[in-house]
Chains A and B, each alone.
Chain A
Amino acid sequence: MTSGASRRSEKRVPEAAAPRRGARVQRTGLDSRVRAWSRHHRAMARDSAFRLARRPLGSLLTMVAIAIALILPCALWLVMDSAKVLDTELDESATLTVYLSASLGERQAMDIAETLRAQPGVAGARLVTAAEGMAEFQQALGLEDALSELEENPLPASIIVSPRDVSPQAVNGLGEQLDEVEGVDEVRLDLAWLERLNRLAELGQRLTLALGVLFGLGVLLIVGNTIRLAVESRRQEIEVVTLIGATHAFVRRPFLYSGAWYGLGGGMLAWAILSLGRQWLAAPVQALAQSYGATFVMPSLGLEGSAILLVSSTLLGWLGSWMAVSRHLKDIRPR
Protein backbone atom coordinates (compact mmCIF):
# COMPACT_ATOMS: atom_id res chain seq x y z
CA MET A 1 0.00 0.00 0.00
CA THR A 2 2.57 2.51 1.09
CA SER A 3 6.26 2.53 0.40
CA GLY A 4 8.78 2.02 3.13
CA ALA A 5 10.17 5.47 2.71
CA SER A 6 6.96 7.33 3.39
CA ARG A 7 6.30 5.15 6.40
CA ARG A 8 9.61 6.16 7.87
CA SER A 9 8.73 9.82 7.91
CA GLU A 10 9.35 10.88 11.48
CA LYS A 11 7.60 14.18 11.41
CA ARG A 12 4.82 13.15 13.75
CA VAL A 13 6.59 10.50 15.75
CA PRO A 14 5.13 10.56 19.23
CA GLU A 15 7.32 10.92 22.21
CA ALA A 16 10.05 8.33 22.51
CA ALA A 17 9.35 5.37 24.71
CA ALA A 18 11.42 6.98 27.37
CA PRO A 19 11.94 4.68 30.30
CA ARG A 20 12.47 7.53 32.69
CA ARG A 21 9.50 8.59 34.64
CA GLY A 22 10.43 12.16 33.98
CA ALA A 23 9.25 12.85 30.48
CA ARG A 24 5.51 12.69 30.95
CA VAL A 25 5.58 13.74 34.55
CA GLN A 26 7.40 16.97 33.85
CA ARG A 27 5.03 17.80 31.09
CA THR A 28 1.91 17.32 33.16
CA GLY A 29 3.32 19.19 36.13
CA LEU A 30 3.12 18.55 39.84
CA ASP A 31 -0.08 20.48 40.34
CA SER A 32 -2.13 18.48 37.87
CA ARG A 33 -0.53 15.30 39.17
CA VAL A 34 -1.75 16.06 42.67
CA ARG A 35 -5.18 16.81 41.26
CA ALA A 36 -5.20 13.53 39.35
CA TRP A 37 -4.09 11.71 42.45
CA SER A 38 -6.82 13.15 44.66
CA ARG A 39 -9.34 12.59 41.88
CA HIS A 40 -8.44 8.93 41.80
CA HIS A 41 -8.68 8.74 45.58
CA ARG A 42 -12.16 10.20 45.53
CA ALA A 43 -13.20 7.96 42.67
CA MET A 44 -11.90 4.85 44.42
CA ALA A 45 -13.48 5.78 47.74
CA ARG A 46 -16.81 6.08 45.97
CA ASP A 47 -16.32 3.06 43.75
CA SER A 48 -15.33 0.75 46.60
CA ALA A 49 -18.30 1.94 48.67
CA PHE A 50 -20.59 1.11 45.76
CA ARG A 51 -18.98 -2.29 45.41
CA LEU A 52 -19.68 -2.99 49.07
CA ALA A 53 -23.25 -1.78 48.70
CA ARG A 54 -23.76 -4.00 45.69
CA ARG A 55 -23.27 -7.09 47.88
CA PRO A 56 -25.01 -5.88 51.03
CA LEU A 57 -25.30 -9.22 52.78
CA GLY A 58 -21.69 -10.24 52.26
CA SER A 59 -20.44 -6.81 53.29
CA LEU A 60 -22.64 -6.80 56.35
CA LEU A 61 -21.41 -10.23 57.42
CA THR A 62 -17.81 -9.08 57.18
CA MET A 63 -18.63 -5.99 59.21
CA VAL A 64 -20.46 -8.05 61.83
CA ALA A 65 -17.42 -10.32 62.13
CA ILE A 66 -15.21 -7.27 62.61
CA ALA A 67 -17.66 -5.83 65.14
CA ILE A 68 -17.65 -9.03 67.16
CA ALA A 69 -13.88 -9.03 67.23
CA LEU A 70 -13.88 -5.42 68.42
CA ILE A 71 -16.57 -5.74 71.06
CA LEU A 72 -14.78 -8.01 73.50
CA PRO A 73 -11.68 -5.88 74.07
CA CYS A 74 -13.84 -2.75 74.11
CA ALA A 75 -16.18 -4.19 76.71
CA LEU A 76 -13.26 -5.27 78.86
CA TRP A 77 -11.76 -1.84 78.51
CA LEU A 78 -15.04 -0.30 79.64
CA VAL A 79 -15.17 -2.57 82.67
CA MET A 80 -11.61 -1.65 83.51
CA ASP A 81 -12.46 1.99 83.08
CA SER A 82 -15.35 1.79 85.51
CA ALA A 83 -13.11 -0.12 87.90
CA LYS A 84 -10.79 2.86 87.72
CA VAL A 85 -13.63 5.00 89.03
CA LEU A 86 -13.98 2.64 91.97
CA ASP A 87 -10.23 2.69 92.30
CA THR A 88 -10.04 6.44 92.72
CA GLU A 89 -12.82 6.24 95.27
CA LEU A 90 -10.76 3.71 97.15
CA ASP A 91 -7.68 5.83 96.72
CA GLU A 92 -9.50 8.69 98.33
CA SER A 93 -10.39 6.42 101.22
CA ALA A 94 -6.81 5.22 101.54
CA THR A 95 -5.86 6.61 104.94
CA LEU A 96 -3.39 5.95 107.67
CA THR A 97 -4.56 5.68 111.25
CA VAL A 98 -2.11 7.20 113.70
CA TYR A 99 -2.71 6.03 117.27
CA LEU A 100 -1.45 8.37 119.94
CA SER A 101 -0.07 7.34 123.30
CA ALA A 102 -2.90 6.77 125.76
CA SER A 103 -1.28 9.09 128.28
CA LEU A 104 -1.71 12.20 126.15
CA GLY A 105 -4.34 14.74 126.95
CA GLU A 106 -6.74 16.28 124.48
CA ARG A 107 -4.74 19.48 124.16
CA GLN A 108 -1.55 17.62 123.29
CA ALA A 109 -3.41 15.45 120.85
CA MET A 110 -4.58 18.55 119.00
CA ASP A 111 -1.02 19.83 118.88
CA ILE A 112 0.17 16.57 117.34
CA ALA A 113 -2.62 16.70 114.77
CA GLU A 114 -1.33 20.18 113.89
CA THR A 115 2.22 18.82 113.53
CA LEU A 116 1.04 16.02 111.25
CA ARG A 117 -0.92 18.40 109.07
CA ALA A 118 2.30 20.33 108.51
CA GLN A 119 4.15 17.25 107.22
CA PRO A 120 4.89 17.39 103.47
CA GLY A 121 3.25 14.09 102.42
CA VAL A 122 0.05 14.74 104.32
CA ALA A 123 -3.06 15.98 102.55
CA GLY A 124 -5.25 16.14 105.66
CA ALA A 125 -5.45 14.97 109.25
CA ARG A 126 -8.56 14.52 111.37
CA LEU A 127 -8.33 14.05 115.08
CA VAL A 128 -10.54 11.43 116.64
CA THR A 129 -10.52 11.92 120.37
CA ALA A 130 -10.73 8.95 122.71
CA ALA A 131 -14.40 9.69 123.41
CA GLU A 132 -15.27 10.03 119.73
CA GLY A 133 -13.39 6.85 119.01
CA MET A 134 -15.40 5.05 121.61
CA ALA A 135 -18.65 6.34 120.23
CA GLU A 136 -17.75 5.23 116.67
CA PHE A 137 -16.64 1.89 117.96
CA GLN A 138 -19.82 1.32 119.88
CA GLN A 139 -21.96 2.32 116.98
CA ALA A 140 -20.10 0.11 114.57
CA LEU A 141 -20.25 -2.95 116.75
CA GLY A 142 -23.55 -2.41 118.50
CA LEU A 143 -21.86 -3.09 121.82
CA GLU A 144 -23.05 0.01 123.61
CA ASP A 145 -24.23 -1.82 126.68
CA ALA A 146 -21.20 -3.98 127.16
CA LEU A 147 -18.74 -1.14 126.69
CA SER A 148 -20.60 1.44 128.67
CA GLU A 149 -19.94 -0.71 131.67
CA LEU A 150 -16.26 -0.10 131.34
CA GLU A 151 -15.22 2.60 133.74
CA GLU A 152 -12.34 3.87 131.78
CA ASN A 153 -12.13 4.47 128.06
CA PRO A 154 -9.52 1.93 126.85
CA LEU A 155 -9.16 3.54 123.40
CA PRO A 156 -6.39 6.02 122.64
CA ALA A 157 -7.02 9.15 120.63
CA SER A 158 -6.17 8.73 116.97
CA ILE A 159 -5.55 10.86 113.91
CA ILE A 160 -6.83 9.85 110.48
CA VAL A 161 -4.26 10.98 107.94
CA SER A 162 -4.96 11.13 104.21
CA PRO A 163 -1.77 10.92 102.18
CA ARG A 164 -1.06 13.12 99.21
CA ASP A 165 0.40 10.24 97.20
CA VAL A 166 -1.64 7.03 97.42
CA SER A 167 0.89 4.68 95.81
CA PRO A 168 1.81 1.84 98.19
CA GLN A 169 5.47 2.90 98.47
CA ALA A 170 4.61 6.49 99.27
CA VAL A 171 2.04 5.46 101.85
CA ASN A 172 4.56 3.12 103.39
CA GLY A 173 7.16 5.86 103.57
CA LEU A 174 4.73 8.29 105.08
CA GLY A 175 3.77 5.73 107.71
CA GLU A 176 7.39 5.35 108.76
CA GLN A 177 7.81 9.10 108.83
CA LEU A 178 4.74 9.62 111.02
CA ASP A 179 5.86 6.87 113.36
CA GLU A 180 8.84 9.07 114.31
CA VAL A 181 6.66 11.91 115.50
CA GLU A 182 6.71 12.40 119.25
CA GLY A 183 3.58 11.15 120.99
CA VAL A 184 2.70 8.70 118.22
CA ASP A 185 2.24 5.22 119.52
CA GLU A 186 1.52 3.31 116.35
CA VAL A 187 0.72 3.84 112.68
CA ARG A 188 -1.62 1.45 110.92
CA LEU A 189 -1.99 1.28 107.21
CA ASP A 190 -4.03 -1.15 105.18
CA LEU A 191 -1.57 -1.63 102.36
CA ALA A 192 -2.37 -5.22 101.56
CA TRP A 193 -5.75 -4.23 100.20
CA LEU A 194 -4.31 -1.37 98.21
CA GLU A 195 -1.62 -3.54 96.73
CA ARG A 196 -4.03 -6.28 95.83
CA LEU A 197 -6.23 -3.79 94.10
CA ASN A 198 -3.32 -2.33 92.18
CA ARG A 199 -2.26 -5.77 91.04
CA LEU A 200 -5.80 -6.52 89.96
CA ALA A 201 -5.90 -3.31 87.98
CA GLU A 202 -2.61 -4.14 86.30
CA LEU A 203 -3.83 -7.63 85.48
CA GLY A 204 -6.95 -6.16 83.96
CA GLN A 205 -4.95 -3.72 81.90
CA ARG A 206 -2.67 -6.41 80.58
CA LEU A 207 -5.61 -8.63 79.78
CA THR A 208 -7.28 -5.80 77.89
CA LEU A 209 -4.10 -5.11 75.97
CA ALA A 210 -3.55 -8.77 75.13
CA LEU A 211 -7.13 -9.21 74.01
CA GLY A 212 -6.96 -5.97 72.08
CA VAL A 213 -3.89 -7.15 70.19
CA LEU A 214 -5.33 -10.61 69.63
CA PHE A 215 -8.68 -9.41 68.38
CA GLY A 216 -7.07 -6.62 66.40
CA LEU A 217 -5.15 -9.39 64.64
CA GLY A 218 -8.50 -11.09 64.14
CA VAL A 219 -9.82 -7.99 62.40
CA LEU A 220 -6.76 -7.95 60.14
CA LEU A 221 -7.41 -11.55 59.19
CA ILE A 222 -11.11 -11.03 58.57
CA VAL A 223 -10.50 -8.03 56.33
CA GLY A 224 -7.50 -9.71 54.72
CA ASN A 225 -9.53 -12.74 53.77
CA THR A 226 -12.39 -10.70 52.36
CA ILE A 227 -10.00 -8.55 50.36
CA ARG A 228 -8.14 -11.62 49.14
CA LEU A 229 -11.37 -12.84 47.57
CA ALA A 230 -12.03 -9.41 46.10
CA VAL A 231 -8.54 -9.34 44.58
CA GLU A 232 -9.08 -12.81 43.16
CA SER A 233 -12.39 -11.82 41.61
CA ARG A 234 -10.83 -8.81 39.93
CA ARG A 235 -7.74 -10.64 38.82
CA GLN A 236 -8.22 -10.01 35.11
CA GLU A 237 -8.74 -6.32 35.71
CA ILE A 238 -5.57 -6.15 37.78
CA GLU A 239 -3.61 -7.96 35.11
CA VAL A 240 -4.85 -5.66 32.38
CA VAL A 241 -4.19 -2.42 34.23
CA THR A 242 -0.75 -3.67 35.23
CA LEU A 243 -0.05 -4.39 31.57
CA ILE A 244 -0.92 -0.89 30.53
CA GLY A 245 1.17 0.79 33.15
CA ALA A 246 -0.71 0.97 36.45
CA THR A 247 1.51 1.35 39.49
CA HIS A 248 1.07 -0.90 42.51
CA ALA A 249 -0.35 2.06 44.40
CA PHE A 250 -3.00 2.52 41.74
CA VAL A 251 -3.98 -1.15 41.82
CA ARG A 252 -4.01 -1.25 45.59
CA ARG A 253 -6.05 1.88 46.12
CA PRO A 254 -9.62 0.58 45.60
CA PHE A 255 -8.90 -2.38 47.86
CA LEU A 256 -7.49 -0.16 50.59
CA TYR A 257 -10.66 1.86 50.50
CA SER A 258 -12.77 -1.31 50.67
CA GLY A 259 -10.76 -2.40 53.70
CA ALA A 260 -11.20 0.98 55.33
CA TRP A 261 -14.95 0.89 54.69
CA TYR A 262 -15.20 -2.59 56.17
CA GLY A 263 -13.26 -1.40 59.20
CA LEU A 264 -15.37 1.71 59.63
CA GLY A 265 -18.60 -0.27 59.21
CA GLY A 266 -17.42 -2.87 61.71
CA GLY A 267 -16.42 -0.13 64.14
CA MET A 268 -19.79 1.54 63.87
CA LEU A 269 -21.58 -1.75 64.39
CA ALA A 270 -19.42 -2.47 67.42
CA TRP A 271 -20.21 0.98 68.77
CA ALA A 272 -23.94 0.44 68.27
CA ILE A 273 -23.85 -2.99 69.90
CA LEU A 274 -21.86 -1.64 72.86
CA SER A 275 -24.37 1.18 73.33
CA LEU A 276 -27.28 -1.24 73.18
CA GLY A 277 -25.57 -3.61 75.58
CA ARG A 278 -24.93 -0.75 77.95
CA GLN A 279 -28.59 0.17 77.99
CA TRP A 280 -29.65 -3.40 78.32
CA LEU A 281 -27.40 -3.97 81.35
CA ALA A 282 -27.97 -0.59 82.98
CA ALA A 283 -31.09 -1.50 84.99
CA PRO A 284 -29.83 -4.68 86.66
CA VAL A 285 -26.39 -3.19 87.33
CA GLN A 286 -27.93 -0.11 88.89
CA ALA A 287 -30.19 -2.24 91.06
CA LEU A 288 -27.24 -4.38 92.12
CA ALA A 289 -25.18 -1.33 93.02
CA GLN A 290 -28.07 0.10 94.98
CA SER A 291 -28.41 -3.06 97.03
CA TYR A 292 -24.81 -2.46 98.12
CA GLY A 293 -25.69 1.14 98.92
CA ALA A 294 -23.36 2.32 96.18
CA THR A 295 -23.96 4.62 93.28
CA PHE A 296 -22.57 3.25 90.06
CA VAL A 297 -22.27 5.11 86.81
CA MET A 298 -22.43 2.79 83.79
CA PRO A 299 -19.24 3.21 81.86
CA SER A 300 -19.53 4.61 78.36
CA LEU A 301 -17.11 5.12 75.50
CA GLY A 302 -17.72 8.83 75.47
CA LEU A 303 -16.75 11.03 72.56
CA GLU A 304 -13.06 10.28 72.77
CA GLY A 305 -13.53 6.55 73.17
CA SER A 306 -15.94 6.42 70.25
CA ALA A 307 -13.50 8.32 68.07
CA ILE A 308 -10.67 5.99 69.05
CA LEU A 309 -12.84 2.95 68.30
CA LEU A 310 -13.86 4.19 64.85
CA VAL A 311 -10.44 5.46 63.85
CA SER A 312 -8.64 2.34 64.95
CA SER A 313 -11.16 0.00 63.33
CA THR A 314 -10.85 1.95 60.08
CA LEU A 315 -7.07 1.79 60.27
CA LEU A 316 -7.19 -1.93 61.02
CA GLY A 317 -9.36 -2.48 57.94
CA TRP A 318 -6.99 -0.44 55.83
CA LEU A 319 -3.96 -2.28 57.17
CA GLY A 320 -5.53 -5.72 56.74
CA SER A 321 -6.37 -4.86 53.17
CA TRP A 322 -2.90 -3.53 52.53
CA MET A 323 -1.34 -6.75 53.76
CA ALA A 324 -3.67 -8.93 51.70
CA VAL A 325 -3.31 -6.91 48.50
CA SER A 326 0.45 -6.62 48.74
CA ARG A 327 0.75 -10.35 49.24
CA HIS A 328 -1.49 -11.19 46.32
CA LEU A 329 -0.19 -8.61 43.89
CA LYS A 330 3.05 -10.53 43.92
CA ASP A 331 1.24 -13.63 42.65
CA ILE A 332 -0.60 -11.77 39.94
CA ARG A 333 1.62 -11.41 36.93
CA PRO A 334 0.02 -10.53 33.67
CA ARG A 335 -0.13 -13.43 31.24
Chain B
Amino acid sequence: MIAFEHVGKRYGGRFEALADINFSVQRGEMVFLTGHSGAGKSSLLRLIMRLERPSRGRILVAGYDIDRLHYSQVPFYRRQIGVVFQDHQLLSDRDVFSNVALPLEIQGVEPHEAARRVRAALDKVGLLHREKALPIELSGGEQQRIGIARAVVNKPALLLADEPTGNLDPQLSADIMRLFEDFNRIGTTVMIASHDLALIARLRHRVLRLREGRLIADEHAAREVV
Protein backbone atom coordinates (compact mmCIF):
# COMPACT_ATOMS: atom_id res chain seq x y z
CA MET B 1 0.00 0.00 0.00
CA ILE B 2 2.77 2.39 0.96
CA ALA B 3 6.40 2.18 -0.05
CA PHE B 4 9.15 4.65 0.78
CA GLU B 5 12.33 4.31 -1.28
CA HIS B 6 15.31 6.32 -0.07
CA VAL B 7 13.07 9.20 0.84
CA GLY B 8 14.64 12.36 2.20
CA LYS B 9 12.97 15.63 3.13
CA ARG B 10 14.73 18.92 3.67
CA TYR B 11 13.00 22.06 4.79
CA GLY B 12 14.35 25.31 3.45
CA GLY B 13 17.01 23.47 1.49
CA ARG B 14 19.20 22.84 4.54
CA PHE B 15 17.48 21.23 7.48
CA GLU B 16 17.10 17.50 6.99
CA ALA B 17 13.82 16.42 8.63
CA LEU B 18 13.92 12.94 7.08
CA ALA B 19 16.86 11.05 5.59
CA ASP B 20 16.99 7.86 3.56
CA ILE B 21 13.72 6.37 4.75
CA ASN B 22 12.93 2.89 3.43
CA PHE B 23 9.94 0.82 4.40
CA SER B 24 6.80 -0.60 2.97
CA VAL B 25 3.39 -1.20 4.44
CA GLN B 26 1.12 -3.91 3.14
CA ARG B 27 -2.49 -3.41 2.38
CA GLY B 28 -4.56 -4.04 5.48
CA GLU B 29 -1.66 -3.53 7.89
CA MET B 30 -1.75 -1.43 11.02
CA VAL B 31 1.47 0.43 11.72
CA PHE B 32 2.63 2.78 14.45
CA LEU B 33 5.11 5.50 13.73
CA THR B 34 6.96 6.56 16.80
CA GLY B 35 9.83 8.71 17.94
CA HIS B 36 10.49 11.78 20.01
CA SER B 37 8.98 15.11 19.19
CA GLY B 38 10.77 16.46 16.15
CA ALA B 39 11.79 13.02 14.94
CA GLY B 40 9.90 13.54 11.69
CA LYS B 41 6.65 11.64 12.24
CA SER B 42 4.39 14.41 11.02
CA SER B 43 6.67 15.11 8.09
CA LEU B 44 6.42 11.50 7.02
CA LEU B 45 2.62 11.54 7.16
CA ARG B 46 2.51 14.84 5.31
CA LEU B 47 4.59 13.29 2.57
CA ILE B 48 2.07 10.48 2.20
CA MET B 49 -0.77 13.02 2.05
CA ARG B 50 1.25 14.92 -0.51
CA LEU B 51 1.14 18.05 1.59
CA GLU B 52 4.90 18.03 1.17
CA ARG B 53 6.98 16.57 -1.59
CA PRO B 54 10.11 14.53 -0.97
CA SER B 55 13.47 16.19 -1.58
CA ARG B 56 14.77 12.83 -2.72
CA GLY B 57 13.58 9.30 -3.19
CA ARG B 58 10.22 7.90 -4.23
CA ILE B 59 6.94 7.37 -2.43
CA LEU B 60 4.57 4.81 -3.86
CA VAL B 61 0.99 4.62 -2.69
CA ALA B 62 -1.09 1.80 -4.13
CA GLY B 63 1.66 1.40 -6.70
CA TYR B 64 1.63 4.98 -7.91
CA ASP B 65 4.51 7.40 -7.56
CA ILE B 66 2.59 10.19 -5.88
CA ASP B 67 5.21 12.78 -6.67
CA ARG B 68 4.25 12.46 -10.31
CA LEU B 69 0.61 13.33 -9.72
CA HIS B 70 -0.52 16.41 -11.55
CA TYR B 71 -1.64 19.03 -9.07
CA SER B 72 -5.18 18.82 -10.39
CA GLN B 73 -5.23 15.11 -9.45
CA VAL B 74 -4.03 15.71 -5.90
CA PRO B 75 -7.51 16.44 -4.45
CA PHE B 76 -8.79 13.21 -5.94
CA TYR B 77 -5.84 11.35 -4.49
CA ARG B 78 -6.45 12.84 -1.03
CA ARG B 79 -10.07 11.74 -1.09
CA GLN B 80 -8.82 8.19 -0.89
CA ILE B 81 -7.05 8.86 2.39
CA GLY B 82 -8.71 9.46 5.72
CA VAL B 83 -6.77 11.71 8.09
CA VAL B 84 -7.12 12.19 11.83
CA PHE B 85 -5.33 15.06 13.53
CA GLN B 86 -4.20 15.59 17.08
CA ASP B 87 -6.32 18.72 17.32
CA HIS B 88 -9.08 16.97 15.33
CA GLN B 89 -9.55 20.05 13.07
CA LEU B 90 -13.32 20.17 13.30
CA LEU B 91 -15.08 23.24 11.94
CA SER B 92 -16.49 25.12 14.89
CA ASP B 93 -19.41 26.71 13.04
CA ARG B 94 -20.81 23.40 11.81
CA ASP B 95 -22.55 20.80 13.89
CA VAL B 96 -21.28 17.27 14.27
CA PHE B 97 -23.35 15.96 11.40
CA SER B 98 -22.12 18.45 8.82
CA ASN B 99 -18.54 18.14 10.04
CA VAL B 100 -18.64 14.44 9.33
CA ALA B 101 -20.48 15.06 6.06
CA LEU B 102 -17.75 17.40 4.79
CA PRO B 103 -15.75 14.83 2.78
CA LEU B 104 -18.95 13.63 1.11
CA GLU B 105 -20.02 17.17 0.38
CA ILE B 106 -16.68 17.78 -1.30
CA GLN B 107 -17.17 14.69 -3.42
CA GLY B 108 -20.69 15.70 -4.34
CA VAL B 109 -22.34 12.66 -2.80
CA GLU B 110 -26.09 12.93 -3.11
CA PRO B 111 -27.48 14.29 0.23
CA HIS B 112 -29.69 11.33 1.02
CA GLU B 113 -26.87 8.86 0.54
CA ALA B 114 -24.51 11.19 2.42
CA ALA B 115 -26.83 11.33 5.44
CA ARG B 116 -26.97 7.55 5.52
CA ARG B 117 -23.20 7.25 5.47
CA VAL B 118 -22.69 10.00 8.04
CA ARG B 119 -25.04 8.25 10.44
CA ALA B 120 -23.27 4.96 9.85
CA ALA B 121 -19.91 6.58 10.65
CA LEU B 122 -21.30 8.32 13.73
CA ASP B 123 -22.81 5.08 14.86
CA LYS B 124 -19.47 3.38 14.44
CA VAL B 125 -17.76 5.84 16.79
CA GLY B 126 -20.73 5.70 19.17
CA LEU B 127 -21.82 9.32 18.80
CA LEU B 128 -24.95 9.05 16.72
CA HIS B 129 -26.94 10.79 19.43
CA ARG B 130 -24.71 13.89 19.26
CA GLU B 131 -25.20 14.68 15.58
CA LYS B 132 -26.82 18.06 16.27
CA ALA B 133 -24.16 19.18 18.75
CA LEU B 134 -21.51 21.74 17.97
CA PRO B 135 -17.91 20.52 18.35
CA ILE B 136 -17.37 22.90 21.25
CA GLU B 137 -20.13 21.16 23.21
CA LEU B 138 -18.23 17.86 23.12
CA SER B 139 -15.47 16.50 25.31
CA GLY B 140 -11.95 16.03 23.94
CA GLY B 141 -12.46 12.32 23.46
CA GLU B 142 -15.77 12.85 21.70
CA GLN B 143 -14.26 15.49 19.44
CA GLN B 144 -11.54 13.08 18.46
CA ARG B 145 -14.09 10.40 17.68
CA ILE B 146 -15.93 12.87 15.44
CA GLY B 147 -12.61 13.52 13.74
CA ILE B 148 -12.28 9.79 13.16
CA ALA B 149 -15.84 9.52 11.88
CA ARG B 150 -15.04 12.26 9.36
CA ALA B 151 -11.89 10.43 8.31
CA VAL B 152 -13.68 7.15 7.67
CA VAL B 153 -17.05 8.35 6.39
CA ASN B 154 -15.73 7.99 2.89
CA LYS B 155 -14.46 4.43 3.51
CA PRO B 156 -10.87 5.28 2.64
CA ALA B 157 -8.41 2.52 1.85
CA LEU B 158 -5.81 4.26 3.95
CA LEU B 159 -6.27 5.91 7.32
CA LEU B 160 -3.55 8.19 8.68
CA ALA B 161 -3.54 9.61 12.19
CA ASP B 162 -1.08 12.11 13.61
CA GLU B 163 -0.96 11.87 17.42
CA PRO B 164 -4.67 11.09 17.64
CA THR B 165 -4.45 10.53 21.40
CA GLY B 166 -2.04 13.33 22.17
CA ASN B 167 -4.49 15.26 24.31
CA LEU B 168 -6.38 12.39 25.87
CA ASP B 169 -6.07 10.46 29.12
CA PRO B 170 -4.95 6.79 28.97
CA GLN B 171 -8.45 5.33 29.14
CA LEU B 172 -9.75 7.49 26.28
CA SER B 173 -6.57 6.85 24.33
CA ALA B 174 -7.11 3.13 24.57
CA ASP B 175 -10.70 3.57 23.39
CA ILE B 176 -9.56 5.56 20.39
CA MET B 177 -6.93 2.99 19.50
CA ARG B 178 -9.52 0.25 19.71
CA LEU B 179 -11.57 2.20 17.21
CA PHE B 180 -8.62 2.25 14.81
CA GLU B 181 -8.20 -1.45 15.27
CA ASP B 182 -11.85 -1.93 14.36
CA PHE B 183 -11.35 -0.10 11.11
CA ASN B 184 -8.20 -2.04 10.44
CA ARG B 185 -10.08 -5.27 11.00
CA ILE B 186 -12.40 -4.49 8.11
CA GLY B 187 -9.43 -4.02 5.80
CA THR B 188 -8.38 -0.40 6.14
CA THR B 189 -4.66 0.19 6.15
CA VAL B 190 -3.91 2.26 9.25
CA MET B 191 -0.83 4.30 10.07
CA ILE B 192 -0.68 6.12 13.38
CA ALA B 193 2.01 8.51 14.53
CA SER B 194 2.29 8.55 18.29
CA HIS B 195 4.87 8.96 21.00
CA ASP B 196 2.75 7.19 23.59
CA LEU B 197 5.17 4.27 23.83
CA ALA B 198 3.38 2.46 26.63
CA LEU B 199 0.14 2.39 24.70
CA ILE B 200 1.83 1.28 21.50
CA ALA B 201 3.64 -1.52 23.27
CA ARG B 202 0.41 -2.86 24.68
CA LEU B 203 -1.26 -2.93 21.30
CA ARG B 204 1.32 -5.20 19.65
CA HIS B 205 1.35 -3.89 16.14
CA ARG B 206 4.19 -3.19 13.83
CA VAL B 207 6.20 -0.14 14.89
CA LEU B 208 8.37 2.14 12.78
CA ARG B 209 10.74 4.05 15.01
CA LEU B 210 12.20 7.37 13.93
CA ARG B 211 15.03 9.30 15.48
CA GLU B 212 16.21 12.61 14.14
CA GLY B 213 14.78 11.89 10.75
CA ARG B 214 16.13 8.38 10.41
CA LEU B 215 14.30 5.11 10.59
CA ILE B 216 16.11 3.31 13.38
CA ALA B 217 13.85 0.32 13.88
CA ASP B 218 11.07 -1.55 12.13
CA GLU B 219 9.62 -3.96 14.66
CA HIS B 220 7.01 -6.25 13.31
CA ALA B 221 5.79 -7.43 16.67
CA ALA B 222 6.58 -5.03 19.44
CA ARG B 223 7.16 -7.06 22.56
CA GLU B 224 9.58 -5.11 24.64
CA VAL B 225 8.66 -1.83 26.24
CA VAL B 226 11.19 0.91 25.64
Interface residues of A, Cβ cutoff 8 Å to B: 1-2, 4, 6-21, 24-25, 28, 32-33, 35-37, 39-40, 236-237, 239-247, 250, 333-334
Contacts and interface: CB of A to CB of B under 8 A. Distances in A.
B28 A13 contact: yes
A243 B26 contact: no
A7 B76 contact: no
B187 A12 contact: yes
Q: How large is the interface on B (under 10, 10 to 19, 20 to 34, 35 or more residues)?
A: 35 or more
Contacts of B80: 15-19
Q: Which of B29, B77, B155, B188 is the most central at the interface, judged by chain A CB atoms within 10 Å of its CB?
A: B77
Nearest to B202: A1
B120 interface: no
A240 B105 CA distance: 13
A21 B89 contact: no
A17 B81 contact: yes
11 contacts: A7-B30, A7-B184, A8-B26, A17-B61, A17-B80, A17-B157, A19-B76, A20-B76, A21-B76, A241-B102, A244-B103
Interface in B123-155: 150, 155
B132 to A, nearest CB: 19
A237 to B, nearest CB: 5
B110 interface: yes
Contacts of A25: 76
A250 B75 CA distance: 10
A116 B94 CA distance: 83
A263 B111 CA distance: 31
A247 B110 CA distance: 18
Contacts of A247: 72, 75
A13 B27 contact: yes
B190 to A, nearest CB: 9
Given A36-B110, A247-B75, A17 B28 contact: no
B91 to A, nearest CB: 5
B156 A240 contact: no
Interface string B153-194: 001111000000000000000000010010011111000000
A15 B62 CA distance: 10
B17 to A, nearest CB: 15
B217 interface: no
A254 to B, nearest CB: 12
Nearest to A21: B76
Contacts of A11: 187
A29 to B, nearest CB: 11
B156 A10 contact: no
B157 A16 contact: yes
Contact of A37 (B61, B62, B75, B108): B108
A36 B106 CA distance: 9
Nearest to A37: B108
A17 B156 contact: yes
A250 B30 contact: no
A19 B1 CA distance: 12
A24 B89 contact: no
Nearest to B203: A1
Given A2-B181, A7-B30, A20 B91 contact: no
Contacts of B66: 19
A25 to B, nearest CB: 8
A19 B108 contact: no
B197 interface: no
Contacts of A20: 64, 73, 76
B187 A17 contact: no
Contacts of A18: 62, 64, 80
Contact of B106 (A7, A8, A244): A244
A245 B107 contact: yes
B214 interface: no
Nearest to A237: B91
B73 A244 contact: no
A40 B109 CA distance: 10
A127 B83 CA distance: 94
B51 interface: yes
A9 B63 CA distance: 19
Contacts of A17: 1, 61-62, 77, 80-81, 156-158
A245 B29 contact: no
Given A19-B76, A24-B79, A39-B108, A8 B62 contact: no
Interface string B58-86: 00011110100100110111111101000
Interface string B97-117: 000001101111111000000
